[in-house]
Structure 1
Amino acid sequence: MAGEITETGELYSPYVGLVYMFNLIVGTGALTMPKAFATAGWLVSLVLLVFLGFMSFVTTTFVVEAMAAANAQLRWKRMENHQEEDDDSSTASDSDVLVQDNYERAEKRPILSVQRRGSLNLFEITDRVEMGQMACMFFNKVGVNLFYFCIIIYLYGDLAIYAAAVPFSLMQVTCSATGNESCGVEADTKHNDTDPCWGPLRRVDAYRIYLAVFTLLLGPFTFFDVQKTKYLQILTSLMRWVAFAIMIVLALVRIGHGHREGHPPLADLSGVRNLFGVCVYSFMCQHSLPSLITPVSSKRHLTRLVFLDYVLILSFYGLLCFTAIFCFRGDSLMDMYTLNFARCDVVSVAAVRFFLGLFPVFTISTNFPIIAVTLRNNWKTLFHREGGTYPWVVDRVVFPTITLLPPVLVAFCTHDLESLVGITGAYAGTGIQYVIPAFLVYHCRKDTQLTLGYGTVNKHRSPFRHTFWVGFVLLWAFSCFFFVTANIVLSETKV
């Protein structure tokens, strides 16, 4: 089908899709994970990481099943429309021209439309149906609005994390309280925002200057569309894997040479709140699955490949975090793990120190405009009315401004990246990763049975097909909401 190929874009093999999914999941959240591991204790962290990875895999299979069900619904409607056109054409005229026209239409029509009761190909994932479209198909109006609200809050959290991470990294690399600027971040010094940076400027002043520059350079992209970022994304992905590989190897070398500073506890429940949010954030991929999975050329063993991806990601996270928490003392681990390597006593080569210290600046800066434009478009969709258009000022000024201003203000007030990632993951992340997929798969199953019959089998249905799993995911999500909120309240009460 020509239309479907256009929507899907260029196809790629399942193994290329596996790499793309790995790159999508392993991002900024991984850089904040080592400190959260050290704070919560290695045993508790390992158990929670494995469990949250499993839960993310469950809901990923839910989204894939919902994608297949949405494709079946769209394909069924097209088949119904073709049938109605045929019925109208057959009663309109018996002229040779009309017969020839009907014949040509029949020749162009997909073979699938002839097999009206054959559900074998109905569930092929060929049309890219984004989560917003699936929400409109399977949810009522209230559900759709709640979906967009959750997505918007999550994207705001994303932008706040990005807006804080770049100036924070620049501040840490370029400022020094002891005047030893050439060696970057000191090993044993805990800095305060009021410590001096350059002359009379404090560290917090430098941070806010960097934030202002970051906003002025990247903020204007929010007012336009970001296109043709393919090669930029390839470059940032390459830089990311070089940085991760260097950090893991350096940590292993230091441990092998006897420079093992870390002695993490088995468990410290006070650190579980942030660890939970960081882990949820670090497994986030559900909102991007339609764009990622639809172009995969062969989806026969899709569930197995997704499972393999999660095993590889779990192994990578475990390797990164365990080398970190045993290589560095827990109280010396930075919010951004790369900054631990911007030290002379860890890395003697200045070029490597600055590459790792400034690594978040390069990668995050390329993602910020893309996330900002995505958030702006979600605002437009939320308030869109059928057949209506926005005035120029609303479209080009108001929506970009309400997109850019809140995350910059949050970043201006705090650069506590661990808390930002933890709160974003614990609340909006939980909604996107658990609640939305669970409701999507529940409603898509009901709609599929009503539309296509109770005997219809979705070829991409989740291995967790029993309704118990939907209830279990929702129960876990609401338990997490309660736990995190109670933990925050108790922490504030103690303070």
Structure 2
Amino acid sequence: MSHFVWRRQKGDFAPKDVFLPLPPRRYMDTPKCLIRSPSEGPSNSDSIHKRNKAFFFFSVWRVPFMSTVMQVVEAEDVKPSQNSEAPKDFKYYSNLTGYCVAINYVIGVGILEISYAFMRAGLVLSTLMMFVSTAILIVSALFLVESQARVQALCRRRNVNEYMSDDDPNLFLLSNKKYEINEMLDVAVGKWASNAYSTIISLFMYTALLSYSTVVASSLVTLVPFPGITTEIYCNVYASQIEPSCLLSYNLYLVIFFLLVLPIAFLEISEQKILQIALTIFRFVTIFIIVITTLIALFAMPYGSLFIDSKPYSSFTDSFVPSGIPIIYATIVFAQLCHHSVPGVIQPIKNKHRIRWVFPFALFTTFLMYALVGLITSAYFGTNAFPMINLNWITYTGAGFNGQNIPVYARIISAVVVLFPIIDIVSAYPLNSVTLSSNLYSALPASVRMRDSKLIKIALRLVASIPPIILSSFIRDLGVIVQISSVFGFFITFFAPAILQLATKKKCLKEFGRHSTIYSFKFLDYDFISYIILALGIISPIVQVIVIILERLGILK
């Protein structure tokens, strides 16, 4: 009886008894279900929370005077909770646009490190590792989509205005609401998990944004002399002694980068759809150029001064190099890491029924691109591949890479490939700023989140966007910081999705008697898959720390 409430329906003139299930008491103290996100207007969750408790009290007795009492409650009736609900002017996009946004989250400067990783682990072993890793990453991304649907269902059960019966076919259908991963962990696991994730994602995202701004400024100051300052000298910002003019150019490029990305960072992901589609096309074109020009050179002439007497002019033949497994594994995982952005990507998608295909298609597409780039470029450049493969195109001549007699079209191709990381980061920086600010918002106390959301959103976007650019002026070589922060990525990619999958399945099975969603595939219902990914989330960071230590000691090279 204590889980049911009697109330009068609005508009009914004759008495009508309606029983609506209330949530079990254990859910009534979980605040995340009733808190809005930065993208929405004022929330009325406190009123609903108080009203639910009032219903809980009145449900003990069902007597005639309740009609009058409940009319008083109805007079104060409020709209359903707007927890993370998209506002009326929210801009939606298609599944294709969602696919493009996911691609832009995935494809970054990590693709330029694939060739070096292939060279370290061998062509065949690297391809196999990439295929297996991509399959695991797809599964963990689907875990997050499913968990989002289950958390929304659990939170709807708390709200009498959004009640659905246990056998309702739309029980696990995604709405236009959005719960960040730390909010889902709060609902499904507990506050400790939410706080741990908030800390880890903040450290990871700040370091990523710091590396983005550093890569842009250092690349520009090296490749594009600043007019009137560094036109006649070569700048290396990683040197122990830096020319004052080079340092000035570096900081000026940081200012230009800041002025370029900050306005974009204030746009919601759905408002960036034209930019994201355009940059997706640019990524595809650049990767196509990398593959085609390398293939032509593979049958035209050897790389640089290498002497190879037969076609194809491949300078790398190793297939299996087991010592390179940690390097290729970490490179692949972080080159395809987009899991922290899953809630933000799926919220604006209008057709929620086909969301489960967005991330599998996006990650499989990036797998094909990475495999092509890794196989072809490592086969041609071999041990001469730069850690960032785009730098090999500095000496591109049109038919090969001998650095002489460069036609105009070859200079254009060289510029596009060499500057690829810079243009890529112009879209990646705002996307990651939005993700970081959303996670920072959801970690704020409830009393702060209930205030003016526009001012809070602006403040958090500034907090997410500005500090990394300022720090880039002082920290130009990330070194150990980037390597150590990469350890946190395994928690984001494996541990958090797996523990969410297990916890939300358990809660929904207890609450609704079922847990399968329309975003699931049958094989994902087996718990042992979740436990395997959970184990990867525990073991992988430990192995990565050991590798970092061995590299720093010079034992592993």
TM-score range, shorter-chain basis? 0.7 to 0.9
Which of 101, 111, 118 is matched with 1:30 structurally? 111
The structural deviation recorded for 1:161 is 2.1
1:461 aligns with 2:520: yes
Which of 536, 542, 549 is matched with 1:476 structurally? 536
| Larger Rg belongs to | 2
- Residue 62 (structure 1) aligns with: 143
Which of 237, 240, 257 is matched with 2:280 structurally? 237
1:122 aligns with 2:171: yes
Which of 239, 262, 269 is matched with 2:315 structurally? 262
- Aligned residue for 2:395, secondary structure, equals coil
- Residue 384 (structure 2) aligns with: 331
Once residues 264 and 209 of structure 1 are traced to their aligned partners in structure 2, the CA distance between those partners, rounded to angstroms, is 44
Q: Is the 8 A contact 1:8 1:128 kept in 2?
A: no
The structural deviation recorded for 1:210 is 4.4
Q: Is the 8 A contact 2:213 2:257 kept in 1?
A: no
1:215 aligns with 2:254: yes
Alignment TM-score, normalising by the size of structure 1: 0.76
- Residue 382 (structure 1) aligns with: 443
Q: Is the 8 A contact 2:103 2:362 kept in 1?
A: yes
**1:180-202, CA deviations, whole angstroms, 9 ceiling, x for partnerless residues?**
x99x99xxxxx895499xxxx65
Once residues 370 and 82 of structure 1 are traced to their aligned partners in structure 2, the CA distance between those partners, rounded to angstroms, is 32
Change (3 A) 1:369 1:213: farther
- Aligned residue for 2:447, secondary structure, equals coil
Aligned-partner residue type, residue 160 of structure 1: L
- Residue 56 (structure 2) aligns with: none
The structural deviation recorded for 1:62 is 0.7
1:316 aligns with 2:369: yes
Q: Is the 8 A contact 2:286 2:420 kept in 1?
A: yes
Once residues 456 and 358 of structure 2 are traced to their aligned partners in structure 1, the CA distance between those partners, rounded to angstroms, is 44
Q: Is the 8 A contact 1:248 1:323 kept in 2?
A: yes
Count of aligned pairs between the two proteins: 441
**1:211-245, CA deviations, whole angstroms, 9 ceiling, x for partnerless residues?**
41233234477699612544333333332222111
Change (3 A) 1:361 1:261: same
Once residues 314 and 479 of structure 1 are traced to their aligned partners in structure 2, the CA distance between those partners, rounded to angstroms, is 23
The structural deviation recorded for 1:327 is 2.0
1:340 aligns with 2:392: yes
Q: Is the 8 A contact 2:92 2:350 kept in 1?
A: yes
Aligned runs of 1:92-491 on 2, under 5 Å?
A: 113=164, 116-130=165-179, 131-174=181-224, 193-194=238-239, 202=243, 206=246, 208-219=247-258, 226-227=266-267, 228-259=271-302, 260=313, 262-300=315-353, 302-303=355-356, 306-335=359-388, 337-345=389-397, 346=401, 348=407, 349-372=410-433, 374-376=435-437, 378-387=439-448, 400=462, 404-405=466-467, 409=471, 412-415=474-477, 423-424=484-485, 426-453=486-513, 455=514, 457-462=516-521, 463-491=523-551
**1:417-446, CA deviations, whole angstroms, 9 ceiling, x for partnerless residues?**
8x777654x412111111111111111112
The structural deviation recorded for 1:12 is 4.6
Once residues 212 and 294 of structure 1 are traced to their aligned partners in structure 2, the CA distance between those partners, rounded to angstroms, is 37
Report the more deviating stretch, 136-145 or 294-303: 294-303
- Aligned residue for 1:281, secondary structure, equals helix
Once residues 165 and 330 of structure 1 are traced to their aligned partners in structure 2, the CA distance between those partners, rounded to angstroms, is 23
- Aligned residue for 1:316, secondary structure, equals helix
The structural deviation recorded for 1:129 is 1.9
The structural deviation recorded for 1:449 is 1.9
Task: Give the structure with the larger helix fraction.
Answer: 1
**1:56-100, CA deviations, whole angstroms, 9 ceiling, x for partnerless residues?**
01101211110111232233333x2467xxxxxxxxxxxxxxxxx
Once residues 224 and 249 of structure 1 are traced to their aligned partners in structure 2, the CA distance between those partners, rounded to angstroms, is 32
Runs of at least 5 residues in structure 2 that lack an aligned partner in the other structure: 1-78, 226-230, 303-312
Change (3 A) 1:394 1:409: same
Change (3 A) 1:215 1:379: farther
Once residues 355 and 272 of structure 2 are traced to their aligned partners in structure 1, the CA distance between those partners, rounded to angstroms, is 27
Report the more deviating stretch, 142-151 or 19-28: 19-28
Once residues 460 and 357 of structure 2 are traced to their aligned partners in structure 1, the CA distance between those partners, rounded to angstroms, is 45
The structural deviation recorded for 1:250 is 0.5
Aligned-partner residue type, residue 62 of structure 1: F
Change (3 A) 1:328 1:474: same
- Aligned residue for 1:458, secondary structure, equals coil
The structural deviation recorded for 1:258 is 4.2
Once residues 403 and 20 of structure 1 are traced to their aligned partners in structure 2, the CA distance between those partners, rounded to angstroms, is 19
Which of 133, 138, 155 is matched with 1:52 structurally? 133
Once residues 74 and 318 of structure 1 are traced to their aligned partners in structure 2, the CA distance between those partners, rounded to angstroms, is 41
CA RMSD after TM alignment: 3.9
Q: Is the 8 A contact 1:262 1:327 kept in 2?
A: yes
The structural deviation recorded for 1:483 is 1.1
Q: Is the 8 A contact 1:36 1:271 kept in 2?
A: yes
Change (3 A) 1:75 1:14: same
Aligned-partner residue type, residue 121 of structure 1: N
Aligned-partner residue type, residue 246 of structure 1: I
Q: Is the 8 A contact 1:70 1:129 kept in 2?
A: no
Once residues 219 and 15 of structure 1 are traced to their aligned partners in structure 2, the CA distance between those partners, rounded to angstroms, is 30
Q: Is the 8 A contact 2:505 2:515 kept in 1?
A: no
**1:307-336, CA deviations, whole angstroms, 9 ceiling, x for partnerless residues?**
44433322221111111101213234242x
Once residues 70 and 161 of structure 1 are traced to their aligned partners in structure 2, the CA distance between those partners, rounded to angstroms, is 33
- Aligned residue for 1:75, secondary structure, equals helix
Once residues 539 and 515 of structure 2 are traced to their aligned partners in structure 1, the CA distance between those partners, rounded to angstroms, is 34
